[in-house]
Structures are given as C-alpha cells and as structure tokens.
Structure 1
Amino acid sequence: SNPITANSQDTFTYELLPSVGDLIISEVCGDGVDGSNSNDNGSMEIYNTTSNTLSLANVQARYYNSNPGAPTQTVDLSGTIAPGGYIIITQNETNFNATYAPITADFSGSSFYFNGGDDGVDIYDTSTRAGILDSFNDNGTGASPWTWNDDNVFERTSTGDGALSGSWTENTIGYGTPGADNENPLPVTLSSFTAQYVSGNLTLHWTTQSETNNSGWNIYRSISDNFDEANKINSELIEGFGTTTIPHNYSYQDLSEYIPGSTYWYWLESKEYDGSNEVYSSISIDIPENNLNPPDLSDVYGLFQNYPNPFNPSTEISFCMDRDVFVTLTVYNLKGRKVNTIFQSNVKAKTINKIIWDGKDEAGNNVSSGIYMYMLKTDNETYLRKMLLSK
C-alpha cells in the first residue's frame, strides 16, 4: 500500500509507486565534460515526469560497464522524488559537488564510471511489478548499444526507447545541467485530434506522444475556421500529464448547443505551468440534420453520458474500454475539487460497466444542485464529461 499523510487541513499527500514513464533518465554527463576524466564526477539525472510525489523505496539505479551484459553495480535508491523533481547519481559525490556547486548529488556508486564506450545505466523497479523503468544505452534489453564519448553530455529529446541513441542529443560543449531543466526539453507532441458525433453527443478525442510541463488543455469552438472568432467551451482547465514520455489519450464531450446541419471548428490549446501556451491546428465536424438513426455503438469505447441527465437523486454512469485495464471513476465539482471516487477497479475489455452515483460525497452527505464533472482515468487515458444534478 502507498503511505498517506494527513495534515491539519484534511488534505493528503500521496507517495505513489512509479510506473513506466513516471521516472526517466533525462541527462547523462560523461566524466570528462570538465576537461578531466579522472575526477569521477560524471552523473545521471532522474526526473519525475508526474504531478505526484513518487516513492523510491523499490527503485534501483544500475550501471553497465559493458553492454549488453550484467550490471556492474546497483545502487538502491530511497526516500521520495517530488513532482517535477530531480535526483542525481554520480561516482564521487565530493568531486561532483565541487564541480556543480550549489547542485549536490543524491546518491553515488563507486563503479558508476560514466567513462563512455558502450557503458549504460538504467532505472529498475524491484517490486512485484519488477522491470526496467527507463534506460540509457542498451543494457541487455535487445536494443543495439552505441559508443559514446565521456567528454560529452547527453540530453533526452525523444519519446523513443532510451536504450537507443536516437532518443538523445549529444552536446560536445558545456557541463550539462544536472538538477535543472535541459537546454533542449522534450516537446509536447500531439499525434491525433478528432471529433466524433454519436447518438446526439459530440465528443473530442486527442492523443499526445509526449508532454513537457503540460498543466492542461483548453478547447475552443467556432462556426468558422477562424480562431479569433472562437470561444472557449471548457469551464475548467482539463488536467494534463505534466512531463511524460509515454502516450496519453484524452476525451471531452462538448455540451454546448449546436445546430443540426451545421459545421463547427475546434482548436486545442496546451497550457504550461509557467503560463505559456500553444494552440494547435483546427479540426471540423459536420452535424447531421437529424439523429433518427444513431450509429452502432458496439465498437465505441470510452466514457458515456450519464443517464438520466439531469437527474435526482441518482444517475447511472457507463463506460467501456478496449482492453483489460485498471480504472478510476471520480466526481468533481466545477471548482475541480473531488466530491467522491465512485469506482476503482480492474475492468475487462469490451464490457459495458454501469456505475450508480447516488449524489453523495465521500462522507455520505447529499451534494447540492449544480453541474458536476465525472472523470474516468486509466494508466494513460483521461475521459471527462459533465452532468446536472437538479433538485
């Protein structure tokens, strides 16, 4: 189980166990970047891509002096890593700290040489979900090792497998930036953005291959392909996945009024934690004249509109996934505060799941009338819809 610590304001801090994509090796500095390859101050930087504090209790850093092959040395990590935080592993902490002051190393391994060649490192989970969380250069995984120079710095710039050289940029000058953002951070890569009209419901779907400091999303709609005439349709920011190197799927239902027989254009805007933004190219969808013959729903997956809606005092929420997966279904108010987690379990693929929400919060109290959001989350998907409780 994950430890939970409560404070006097009845909020909770969770120390979660990392999954693949949560912790990544974001930078590797060779021992010779400072002009000397004998002071043992090379390093690897591990970055927490999530918005959660992650436990390092079952995590190891492993060094490979020859790849592929067995680890030369394993260092057991401990403690936690903060959201968007870094930890640094080096061979000689004293020499590293002297070179990179005021940055200090968190862990050290006497055989973590960082002296180039075909050496490599990885992050390994020793729990019941044992496996490699991320890697730099091949470590026996089957990828092809490459030869690297210990005078250089490698920065992660791709969502691809870290065991492959194509996932990194090699810098021949500079000491690197251990403990801080890379000079060439991973981009937010949007791989798809589509709209779907089914049984009178218009839903937007999008997928990212990677995200960097992504606080969340806004959606804009217009009756013309002109962003200056578009209006934002989501009342609250749709939560992003921060920084991640694995794909994530999103879904959002447009509950705005629309006219049958019309065409609408939609834009996605990503918002970073520092307030900067990026607006992506528009998509359009034609609304049919009527909905007398809705399409077959047998191959539609995701989170469906609750029924009845509006409702009082209870409503049924249904969803269907295209794979066996662990899901969490949570109700929020319009301020984004959690009202109640009403379902949390593994579900089977291609099975319609029906969950009843009785209009109560986690303490069993009836909630007031108003608009509520319900969110379905998996390991890499987020679906969000709205419903109206009317008393």
Structure 2
Amino acid sequence: QGTPTPSFNGLTYLELEVSSTDPTDDVVPWIWKIPIYITDNNLLPNLTKEFGAAYNINVFKNQSILTSMKAVDQDKTLGKLDSTFYDFYLWDTNKNQYHDIPSATFTIQGDSALFNWVPTINDVGNYKLVGQAWDYYMKMDTCKSDVSVYYMKPDFSSTCPVGFAPLSVTFTDKSVAENTTITQYKWSFDDGSFSTDRNPVHAFTNSGTYTVSLEIYNGINRVEERKFFYVVVNSIDFKADTTSGFVPFEVPFRNLSTTELPLSITSNTATSVEFSWLWEMGDGKTVREKEPLYTYNDPGIFTVSLTGIIYYTYPINDSTTKTDTVVSAKKMKTDYITAIGDLMANFEADVTDGYAPLKVKFTDKSTGQPTAWLWTFGDGSPDGTTQNPVHTYTTPGVYNVSLTVYRGELQNKKQNSQMINVRQPVTAAFTASPTTGTAPLLVTFTNQSLGDPPITAWYWDFGDGATSVEKDPTHLYRNSGSYNVTLIVDNTDKRDTLTKNNYIVITAAELNADFSAEPLSGEAPLTVKFTDLSTGNPTDWRWYFGFNDATSSDRDPVYTYQNSGTYTVTLIVSKGTEIDTTIKENYIIVGGTGIKEMMENSFELFQNYPNPLRHSTTINFTLNYSSQVTLRVFNVLGEEVKTFFNGQKHDAGHYFVSWDGRDNTGRLLPAGVYYYELTLEGSQYRVGKTREMIIVK
C-alpha cells in the first residue's frame, strides 16, 4: 500500500496509511486499536481519568490543563514502544478552526507525553483537545477531550456604605461571566445575615465595621469576592457636662458619635465623605458646631437633640462631581437640660368644669424648683401639701383655687384665674297627687328633676301603657291596680332615669255608668262613635240610641243616625248583681241645613261677675245640647291671652268658670278692655258668642 500525505487545514503531519480532512475524526488505521490514556492532575489532584472527559477552565482563577498521555500495547503484539511519539493541538468548535496556543508546553518523558496549558482571557471559547500517538510502525491513534474556557469574576458595588445605625445599603452585582452563566449568588454581610438575591438591600442595625463578600456559582465553579471593612455603621450620641443649673446656665456639650469611614471609597460609591452636625437646643435655637458651649438664658426644661449628617461626593462624569446628603440620624434626650429661674407659682387642672362629684388632678407648673407646696381648694376642705394633689368636689358650686410655693426662705403665691366649676348632675325626681284613689283617678305629676345645664326633655311612662313628654303631665287611670311610674330626663350632656314601683294605687270604684260620643251633631246620615267611660269595671253594656228600638251590647259601639232629629242616649252597665244607668238628654243632634241656626239658640253666654275684674271674676254659660266647647279671652288687639277650654266636650248643663286675670303663662294681665268668647263646634256648624270684660288694678 502507498503512504498518502494527510492535510489538516493546511497543516502537514506524518505520512500515514489513512488520511482525513477533519482532524477531530477518530482514525483507526489498523485492525487493532492502540488505547491511549491520559493522567489528569489539574482539577482534582491525584485523580487519573480517561482521556475524553470534559475540561471546564475559569481563566479568572488561573486554572490550567496539565495532562499526560502514554501509549499502551494491550495486545502485546508490537513489543516495546520505545520509538512512540506524540502530539497535541486545540480545535475551536465555534469557529471550526485551529486555535493557536503558544503558551502551551509539550514534553516527552520516555514513552509518555506531558501537556501543560494555562489559558488567558483571549482563549475564552469552546474547544476539543486532540492527542495523537504514533508507534514505530507509524501506526497512529487519536483521543479527544472537550474543553470549555470561560471567564467568571465576582464583583459588586453599593450605595454609600457609611452612615448611622440603622443603615440600609443597596448592593448591586457587577460580576462578569463570559462563555458561562451565573446560576447562584450568595452574599454574606458579616452580621450573621445572608442573601441569595442578585441585588439585595440589607439593613445594618448595629454600629460597627462590616466585611461584605459575594460568592457566585455557575454549576461548576464557585468564585468569591470579599471586600474587607466595606460597610461602616457609626453611632450617634452626646452628653452634657452638667444638666441642671440657674439661669444664665452655661452647658458644655460633648459629641460622643463615631465618624469611622470604610477602608476605601471606590469611584462607584463616593470620592469623598464628610460629617456635619446639627444641635437643637430645645429653646427654639440650633447650633452647627461639633461640640458647642451653649448658654440657656430662660428658665425651663429643655429637650436636646443631635443630628448627624453625612455628605458624600460622587462623580457624574470625568470632570463633574455632585454632593448629596446620603443619610442623617438623630439622637434625642427628652427633658435633658433644666434651667432654673426665679421662684414662681403656677399650676394646671386637668378638668375645670364638670358634674359633682368632680375629681380634679392639679399639676404643679411652678418654676424656680420649689421644695414645698400649700394648696387651698376653695371648698373649706383641709389644705394640700403634696406637689400634684388630687381633690374631689362633692357639692355643686364655683371654687377659687390657690397655690403657694416655697424654696428655703423664698415664697411665691399663685391664684388660679380659671375657677373650678362643679355643676349639678342630671337627677330625675318627681311627685304625684293623688297617689291613691278609686278608678277613674286623675293624677297630676310634678317634675322636680335637677340638672346643669337645665333639663330640656322629659319622658313619662305611667305604667298602664300610656306615656307623655310634658314637663308636668296629668294622667287618668281608668282601672284599679298598682302602677310603676318612670321618668327619664335629659339635657344636652346627661340623662337620668327614676322609677317608683307601685307608686300609684287605684282601687275599684262603685259601678257608675258614663260615656262620651264623637261627633255630637251633624247632617244625616250621621255616624257616631260612642266610648264607654264607666267606672267600677262593668262586664256588660246595654246602649239605647234614642231611635225606635236601636240598641247595642258592645262596650264602644258605632251607630249611624239616618234621620234628622234630637236623640237621647241611654247606657246601662252591670257587673254581677250591680247595675247602673246614665241618660243624656238631647245628646245627639242630627239635622239638615238648619242645624247651625238651631245650635245658635241652644246656648247662652252670661256677663262675667264681678265686672270690672279686680282680683277674680266668674264666667258662666249654659248648654242645651252636648257639644265641643272653646272658651277664650282676647285683648283689644285680637291677641289670645287666655284659653279655658279648647274643643273639649261638654254635656248639656250650666257651667261656671273662675278666673284671676292671669294669662296662659301665669302673668297678671295689665288693666284694660278684654273680650271673652264661647264657641260651639261640630262637623256641620261653628257658632259663638262674645262679651266685653274690664280689668282694673
């Protein structure tokens, strides 16, 4: 056989029995194969692995390939391979060409070949490392190994890493990864805290100096960047050499704050850092010195605060910088400085107006550091000698409070210009008259409730289902029994309730028939509702309506009169063997168009006597029929000044009304001419009569 000349991308190798244009092809020119092994001591020391395993090289870590190759005649047919020689080269699988590796070294040691290569950043890429061996018969075998060369370097920056506790710092990942991907980040902040975020924000709560590290991982390799003393958290504090004295009071202040800086300030954080101080002295003034000597000219207790401000300058471009306030923190000491002035009494009360019993806490506000106190509370109680007494006023009234303070031989007195006003609490109270009697019993209730401000609302519950909102109501109890009466009173501030149990006691009366009706007159057909007013708790009723044999056994019947006329109504009530009857003559008037004229002649209003009125007079009138009656008095201007009845029902009869000359409000009317008017009113009529009256003094 001939010996062809192989060509590998322009490179000429030894003439062998076979040839190929792809130098990475496995070439087996003979029927037997010469196995070739490589001992790799690079990544894992003392580990021998078969040539063909992949290499992953991080240029940043100066990793290298150190491998050896030795031909072995496993079949023992070739004899000693003392003439074997070797070769290595690198094939760029991305560019599909040879990659020049001038920095690699290749040496022959006996029957072994040693290959050593330290890649640089210019070698980043993906390759095949090819090893070739020839025996002295010019038989060749080829082995290949995948090689990935990448560059992975951790780095980071942050917002200005200097400030006061607590300090929040934002970290920004600046790591570089070429020909690989970072899959994991691990931050360590030197305070026991960690983060796996790519760009974490971390708060340093305690003052101190912190080393920050970032470890990155690509699934193959871990690389760490550690920046020593990278974050500095300062503390802010101060003290005064003396905290109490008499005005003018001069106080030296000491700044105990720390002003440490990080080990280095890089260009991506700041080029310079400066500290500034702001003192707030508590009297409305500020000082910007580091350790001021300050004088308090006015007495008082002052809260002092120190604010530390950090300014940092950072570059905007090559020629421009900008200064910002990065962080500030304040240390405040409440009521820290006491400047003592002249002895002067003063005090406050937590409440100056309220209902008895009123508990008042007095607080001493005196200046000049008094050592003794004497309080006068104004209500006759013993004087107080404590600094901040608590006193209870039990009786309504207005009280003047004074305080006298002492310090050694000095004395000063303060009388409070704002009095203590103790008001009467809202208290419900009432009486009634009468409280006992037989049914039906009309009871007058009298309100006796107290309150400051005055009571404005009343609510009565009479115990029989009836209620009232009048101040002094009257109430008719129809049935026997014992009744609980409740009064609720209210003003703009408070409410109170009083219940008197079994307060009204009504006994059963003798059987007595009585009734009312509505309306008492009108045109036919006239429907009238009758209401039983009988006492003695009757159990049976018999009504006679005055027309033929019309009757009813209802307690409160309704009857319609179809024909005009005047009707007498009779009611007979009974209970067991008891029976009583009442008859109301000409009680219902049913008429046509002449009913008004009839009613005008059915009553009479007489002249009052005596007239003129000096102390009292009597007005009398007669009714021929039951009617709704209104009796009023007017002055010469037509103004109503007194009302005796206002639409109240009156049966036929003669009536007398006594009057003392007082108006509806209880005020005596002045002398002059007045008119009194009697009006009768029904659904079909309204008639009246008027007479003149004179009042003299």
Whether the TM-score (by the shorter chain) exceeds 0.5 is no
| Greater C-alpha radius of gyration | 2
Give the structure with the higher percent strand.
2
- Shorter chain as denominator, the TM-score bin is 0.3 to 0.5
TM-score, structure 1 normalization: 0.32
TM-score, structure 2 normalization: 0.20
